[in-house]
Structure 1
Amino acid sequence: MNRAPAHPATQPVRSRRPLALTATAVGAGALLALAAPLAASAHVTVGPNTAAAGSYATVNVKVPTESDTASTTKIELDLPTDTPLSYVAYEPIAGWTVELVKEKLPKAVKVGDSTLTEGYTTVVWTATGEGIKPGEFVQFPVTLGPVPDVDKLVLPAHQSYSDGSVVDWDETGADAEDPAPTVYVNEAPPADEHGGSHSAASGDEHGSDATEASATSAAAQPDVLARVLGIAGLVVGVIGLIVGALGVTRARRGNGAA
């Protein structure tokens, strides 16, 4: 009795499936490795993110452009009015103009031996050219003081793009999606807070070389969370390769046994 020949499409169909699963796993791993660091580090932040009460702290406002099609053309940094700063200075940055906005305070506030009725409320950086293009970031150094004796100094930022959109970095809390740049004074910064945890020098009247070096060091620190997520993505891809290879081998063995 003659046996009917196997259907010619049976063998290829068995081998394609593991290959497709492998490609899917590798693609997912690659996307996780690439996208996770971007999502974790693309916030507007300040570094160093700690300062001593009473000091004149120099911090860098780090502004990355998240958009793939538009450039950052303006950054507005809100300063506190309930604990006002009597001194604000900036470092000139090529391609940008800076405005220090000083206004009447909602109520008079005593700072040291002085009573302030007006104070700095906003720092505005405006691009004179193309601004910060996609994939780029710029750091804007600014000195603030004297730092008030508070838990933390919340500095909401507003990022304007060339397409007219505005992103408000003004949220607080552990689950904030658009967290406000924050300088921690008496409160310890969270372990995963961006911007580093170096303290600003407290003995220099208007900032110092040590403070600036600390700011540079903090800005250069790697994003630990981004690295962990990136490695996790690569691991997923490797596991996908192994699973796919095992599937192909088993399929071939099964075809050979048939």
Structure 2
Amino acid sequence: MKKRFMIVLVTFLTLGFASLASAHVTVQPKEVPAGSYQVFTVRVPTEKETATTQVKVAIPDGVDIKRFEPKPEWTYEIEKNADGKLTAVTWKASGAGLGATEFGEFRMQGKVAEDAKELVWKAYQTYADGEIVEWTGAADADKPASVTAVTAATGDGHGDSHGAADAATAGEDHEDGGRDTLTLCLAIAGLAAGASALFIALFRRRA
């Protein structure tokens, strides 16, 4: 009985901590090649009964963000340094924001620097009651900043998103080709079986 209770308790705590960890503000993808063009997605869950009404993300030095995807009922403002490089973006809700059981995704596009090693995304989440949660800590902190690892350059300059799409297309073409060959073989086998049956029937009829 005691052993069963301990198993239930450990399972409960594990699930509880997992749900808390998954509720962090994160930026996807978690890994990108150096020198590649990428679409980054900022995922923002609301962790209170009060709605999330504003999200600010500091743009790391190792990436040059140029474009943002429009989001209904949200506006955005950008900040630049003296060189004209974007340093931060703030999304603001023009409507009710993200409620207690909701999350939102905000997308932006840019190029990863050739010499980048990792991208540390510091985010600031503002609630309707005025509270600001700063997702700026280390990986083991209660409120960690999201980190994107930067791998060696692929050489094509398009990044994983284009490469994955090309690979998927090639896979689909290969799969379609395989299906076409199989269909042709089955059709030939069917014709051969039909011809054999007809020949046997005619032979028996004559006999």
TM over 0.5: same fold?
A: yes
**Match in the other structure for 1:240:** none
Which position in structure 2 is the counterpart of 1:11? none
Structure-2 residue corresponding to 1:79? 59
Residue 133 of structure 1 aligns to a residue in which SS? coil
Code of the aligned partner of 1:95 = E
Structure with more contact order per residue of length (Cα contacts < 8 Å, sep ≥ 6): 1
Aligned AA (1:145):
K
Q: How many residues align?
A: 164
Q: Is the Cα contact below 8 Å between 1:52 and 1:201 reproduced in 2?
A: no
4+ runs deviating over 4 angstroms: 24-31, 199-202, 207-211
Where 1:185 maps in the other structure, the secondary structure is strand
The structural deviation recorded for 1:153 is 0.8
Distance 2:121 2:40 in 1: 12
77, 80, 90: which one aligns with 1:99: 77
* Residue of structure 1 aligned with 2:46, choices 65, 87, 112: 65
Partner of 2:31: 50
Distance in 1 separating the partners of 2:148 and 2:89: 16
In the TM superposition, what are the counterparts of 1:218-229 in structure 2 within 5 Å?
none
Cα deviations across residues 109-163 of structure 1 (Å, max 9, x unaligned)? xxxxxxxx23101011111111111121111111121434222011100000011
Q: Residue 42 and residue 137 in structure 1: after superposition, are their counterparts in 2 closer, same or farther (change >3 A)?
A: same
Matches within 5 A, 1:1-258: 28=9, 32=13, 35-67=16-48, 69-81=49-61, 83=62, 85=64, 87-104=65-82, 117-173=83-139, 175-186=140-151, 203-204=157-158, 208=162, 210=164
Q: 1:148, 1:182 → 2: CA distance?
A: 17
TM-score, structure 2 normalization: 0.66
Distance 1:26 1:47, change over 3 A: same
Larger fraction in strand: 2
> For residues 33 and 177 of structure 1, do their structure 2 counterparts lie closer, same or farther at Cα, with a shift above 3 Å needed?
closer
- Residue identity matched to 1:186: T
Per-residue deviation, residues 216-242 of structure 1 (Å, max 9, x unmatched): xxxxxxxxxxxxxxxxxxxxxxxxxxx
Q: Any idea what SS the aligned residue of 1:172 has?
A: coil
| Overall identity of the aligned pairs, in % | 33
Distance 1:202 1:155, change over 3 A: farther
Q: CA deviation at 1:200?
A: 10
The one-letter amino acid of 1:102's match is K
Cα deviation 1:7-63 (Å, max 9, x = unaligned):
xxxxxxxxxxx9xx9xx8798578536533321210011111111111111121110
TM-superposed deviation, 1:79: 1.2
How many Å separate the matches in 1 of 2:145 and 2:47? 16
